[in-house]
Homo-oligomer: A and B are copies of this chain.
Amino acid sequence: MFLTEPEVYELLSAYSIAVPRHKVFWKDEIPSWDIFPAVLKVVSREVFHKSDSGGVIFIEKKENFVDAIFTLRSRFPEVDRFIVEEKLHGIEAFVGVKRDFSFLHVVGIGTGGIFVEVFGDVCFIPLKSEREEVRACLRKLKLYSLIKGFRGFKGNESLLLDFLEKLKVLLLENPQIYELDLNPTFITESYVIPADGRAVLKEPEERKEFRSLPENLFRPETIAVIGASSNPKKVGYALIRNLERFRGKVFPVNPKYNEVLGFKCYPSVKDIPEKVDCALIAIPAPAVPDVLKECGEKGVKLAVVVSAGFGEAGREELEQEVVRTARKFGIRVLGPNTLGFMVPSLNLNASFSTTLPPPGEISFLSQSGALITAVVDAAAKEDIGFSEVISLGNQSDIEVAECFELAVRNSDTKVILSYVEGLELGWELLNFVGKKPAVFIKAGRSEGGKRAVASHTGSLAGNYKVFKDAVECRGGIVVDSLEEAFDCCRFLTAYGRLEDKKLLIVTNAGGPGTLAADYATSFGLELVSVDPVLEELSRVLPPNWSRINPVDLIGDATSDRYRAAFEILEKLNWDVCLVIVTPQSMTDVPEIAHEVVKLSERSKRAVVGCFMGGSSVAKGVEILKREKIPVYPDPYRAVNSIRRGVWSVQSSSEERREKA
């Protein structure tokens, strides 16, 4: 179904959204109309690109009105209705709504005309957003500079927010809207009015239901391994071996064995004499539904289907059967095609990953099992610990959004890190993003990277862009790479998200200090002024110290000088202090590290280290890591992590790096 311009105007009016004064009339009619300049357009479900096909005529003066009608009649003999409306002016904005399968309605907004296509100045706001979140999204746009006033342009932010709120109500009450284009929409200081309208209606698709996960789902007391094996080449062997250190009970299940790796083995899950909380299933795919039925009868709460050969291999039906069976018995299914899950603090490695990472405060949810393998392997080296690691596999039942919600409830978790390829429950995910610091890596941006050529919302919104904008709008952090993700997690586990953005840089190296200041400025962080303590600092620092922030203590600074500076600089009103250290011959790195620790303890504010070099700084790095002070090898990574952790900057800076 398709709504024409007058129909869209009617819909908008019903929600108190202003539309241009207009009149619809039949082809053989000459209406009375006195507002000029005016715009005359065809009304038709068939004519798609009205402007491009000559279906729009601008009329300067009343004397040209009748002529224009005749022209349009002759151009479109088959069209039987026309609309005349006042010609609006102001900032030409692009407003388009798209109903995304995962995130439901998102409102695309940006600078209109060729801006939206050539410059891609558009962001997608999910309906879940609060007014303040919407404001933060708008601030990312170039459109925002026009609204704030620029070279004859000026809009009204508050009216625009009102307009978007009304649009939100309209969309919530009209789920059948699939696309809604209001292009252009004109913004001035006194109004926000769409000057065209077109909508596509389509009944909402049936979506997966969000089903909250039980608190202790990933903390089972007893685990059965169905398909356990004594053959070291089999996954069923690795699963048992990895559970050897688990403090709960482990029950191998395989009719071929009496025992596996010292554990008594049972012919079937039903033969296990105790309750079974969780079953790891590693048997050929076709046998899984029957085994699940047995699990159901046994009262298993969580089935981890490690077996592959389901949807990912084209066998969607088998996967559906698994889900149906599980639902029938109230079992939640992780996978199929999952690596499993791990809870390091419980020594619980319910996966076929060889190593269990150190315990920590990050929930890592990943749709890629191999990524988990790599991360877990790097964890020790990188000093990264996890409260839980969950491999989502095919997400036939348990989805990233559900695990995310559970992680929000998990008191061991400070930061949630998700690697996402696709998800169905985006709308629901947005309820929880922002409740805890959350970092996302989203694969599949190439799709979105393709510059869309058509101007309607649908094609403009790649999945990646919708995901990124929606999640960021709610306060999530979407990063580009795994390394960046862990850099951010380091900061967030230490300090959470900060509200304020005043940065102090203390360095013994001019160059790296300048680079750090460059990054900070281009990211929108604010360099706090050291003027209030200038005299005091000058008394303890060498005469050639920088006298500005970055505070350059000069290359020969030792821990004494760092300490003296810290003690004075503590009085300033900074939110984050970045301490840069390069190893000159007199640099006593470990002692400086201790001063950084003390600063962190005394100031109770965020302190971040950037220790540059190799073996000469290694001990200092260790000291900071031990004290959970984030430390980075490069000023870029340090400042970027700070920036990602500061909410007010994250939401207002438009680019990872400004072009300068």
Contact = CB atoms under 8 A, between A and B. Distances in A.
A113 to B, nearest CB: 9
A562 to B, nearest CB: 14
Contacts of A382: 614
B373 A151 contact: no
Contacts of A448: 660
Interface string A236-263: 0010000000000000000000000000
Contacts of A483: 633-634, 636-637
Interface stretch (A178-186, A398-406, A509-517): A509-517
Residue with the highest number of chain B CB atoms closer than 10 Å, among A419, A449, A468, A660: A660
B555 A369 contact: yes
Contacts of A14: none
Interface in A286-317: 308, 312-313
A336 B480 CA distance: 42
Q: How many copies of the polypeptide does the oligomer hold?
A: 2
Given A146-B118, A522-B449, A612-B374, A544 B313 contact: yes
Contacts of A378: 612-614, 633
Interface stretch (A63-71, A98-106, A162-170, A439-447): A439-447
Contacts of A657: 480, 656
A86 B407 CA distance: 67
A635 interface: yes
A120 B659 contact: yes
Nearest to A142: B118
Nearest to A659: B120
A584 interface: yes
Nearest to A508: B370
A170 to B, nearest CB: 28
Contact of A515 (B375, B443, B522): B443
A119 B145 CA distance: 10
A31 B174 CA distance: 63
A17 interface: no
Contacts of A217: none
Contacts of A379: 614
B481 A371 contact: no
A187 to B, nearest CB: 14
Contacts of A445: 518, 521-522, 660
Q: How big is chain A's contact interface, by range?
A: 35 or more
A585 interface: yes
Contacts of A543: 313
Given A119-B121, A449-B522, A511 B371 contact: yes
B660 A582 contact: no
A114 interface: yes
Interface string A513-533: 011011111100000000000
Given A443-B518, A511-B443, A522-B446, A481 B636 contact: yes
Contacts of A521: 445-446, 449-450
Given A150-B117, A656-B657, A312 B509 contact: no
A421 interface: yes
A409 B258 CA distance: 75
Contacts of A118: 111, 142, 145-146, 150
A465 interface: yes
Interface string A575-603: 00000001111000000000000000000
Given A238-B585, A482-B634, A510 B370 contact: yes
Contacts of A142: 118-119
A371 B119 CA distance: 37
Nearest to A509: B370
A205 interface: no
Nearest to A121: B119
A110 B509 CA distance: 37
24 contacts: A119-B119, A119-B142, A312-B544, A313-B543, A353-B585, A370-B509, A370-B555, A371-B612, A374-B509, A374-B583, A375-B613, A377-B583, A381-B615, A446-B522, A464-B660, A465-B659, A481-B634, A481-B636, A482-B512, A482-B612, A483-B634, A483-B637, A656-B656, A656-B657
Given A374-B617, A465-B660, 5 more contacts: A368-B511, A381-B614, A419-B511, A480-B519, A482-B512
